[in-house]
Structures are given as structure tokens and as C-alpha cells.
């Protein structure tokens, strides 16, 4: 009897220590918080970013980025709450370092944002989770609580 089932291993990475962001998209931990992707392979990912803000007026948003490669077949959603703690902002992203702007935080924290989707690359590269802080304040991603899960999903079926 043959099977078309795939055995796919999901991996999880935990942010080791707090990372303070102040400005445009910044990697949460360059080369350590994310995963190494190979050209042409397709990955599914989901990041949970637990963060605090210095003020509720501070804008925050999260995405993915990589240097030295381009994303192909990229589609992901960045989701986070706004100041009323009820309304969610969902931004569909198709390139690195999106969304381009954040939304005010629901509280000084902790808050949770999610970034999830699929991606393939033109070259081998490390994929980083990124964050943006606006309004000259600071966002801090919390180490030990912030995670990213990923798995390769384009494995050929076993014969």
C-alpha cells in the first residue's frame, strides 16, 4: 500500500532576551531569532510577539525580513490590537518589512501580535522576525515569551 502522506517537522525558536525597538523595521535578533531558508523551498511560519510599550500612543507592527534574498510566493498576515484592546488590525503583506506603519498599542503591556503565512526565497538566507516602533517611543519584545514556529511544506510525497 502506498501513501501520499508527508512527515513534516515543525521547529520553534524562542527569543532569548528582551529586544527594544525604536524606529523602522528592526530584526528582533539578527541571525538567531528566525530560521535559515533555502532557495526554492516553501515554508509556513507563525510568530507570536509578546511586547510592552512605553506609552499607549506608541505604534507597533511586526513582520519578517531577510538580507541577501528576495521573497517569492510570499503572503503573510500581521495582526495586533489597537488602543481599544478589542479592534484588531490585520494587514496582508506580500514583501519583506511590511506593514510600513504601526497602530497604537492597547496597553503598555504585555500585548501580543501574530505574524503568520508562507514564503519561498530566491536565495538561501536567514529569515528574521522584525518589529517597528513609532512616535519616538519604544516597543520591547519580551525574551522567553516571544516565539516563531516554522516548517518546510513542499516536501515531495513518499513513493
For the cut 60, the answer to whether the pLDDT of residue 95 exceeds it is yes
pTM: 0.85
When the pLDDT of each residue in the chain is averaged and rounded to a whole number, the result is 83
For the cut 80, the answer to whether the pLDDT of residue 85 exceeds it is no
Q: CA-CA distance, 94 to 97, in Å (whole number)?
A: 9
More confident site: 21 or 158: 21
pLDDT at 86: 62
Q: CA-CA distance, 123 to 129, in Å (whole number)?
A: 18
Domains, in order of start, for the chain: 11-152 (2.60.120)
For the cut 70, the answer to whether the pLDDT of residue 116 exceeds it is yes
Query: Band of the pLDDT at 107, cuts 50, 70, 90?
Result: confident
pLDDT at 152: 93
Least confident piece of the model among 6-20, 34-48, 55-69: 55-69
Q: CA-CA distance, 141 to 123, in Å (whole number)?
A: 28
pLDDT at 49: 94
| Cell representation of residue 96 | 519583506
More confident site: 13 or 8: 13
Coil/strand/helix, residue 139: strand
Question: Where do the DSSP E strands lie in the chain?
Answer: 11-14, 19-21, 26-27, 34-37, 42-53, 59-65, 71-81, 88-93, 103-104, 111-121, 125-133, 139-141, 147-152
Amino acid at each position: 500500500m502506498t501513501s501520499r502522506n508527508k512527515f513534516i517537522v515543525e521547529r520553534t525558536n524562542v527569543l532569548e532576551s528582551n529586544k527594544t525597538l525604536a524606529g523602522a523595521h528592526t530584526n528582533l535578533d539578527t541571525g538567531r531569532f528566525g530560521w535559515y531558508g533555502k532557495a526554492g523551498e516553501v515554508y509556513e511560519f507563525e510568530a507570536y510577539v509578546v511586547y510592552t510599550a512605553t506609552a499607549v500612543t506608541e505604534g507597533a507592527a511586526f513582520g519578517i525580513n531577510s538580507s541577501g534574498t528576495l521573497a517569492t510566493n510570499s503572503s503573510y498576515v500581521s495582526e495586533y490590537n489597537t488602543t481599544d484592546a478589542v479592534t484588531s488590525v490585520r494587514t496582508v503583506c506580500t514583501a519583506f518589512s511590511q506593514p510600513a506603519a504601526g497602530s497604537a498599542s492597547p496597553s503598555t503591556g504585555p500585548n501580543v501580535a501574530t505574524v503568520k503565512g508562507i514564503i519561498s526565497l530566491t536565495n538561501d538566507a536567514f529569515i528574521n522576525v522584525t518589529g517597528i516602533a513609532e512616535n519616538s517611543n519604544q516597543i520591547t519584545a519580551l525574551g522567553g515569551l516571544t516565539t516563531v514556529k516554522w516548517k518546510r511544506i513542499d516536501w515531495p510525497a513518499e513513493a
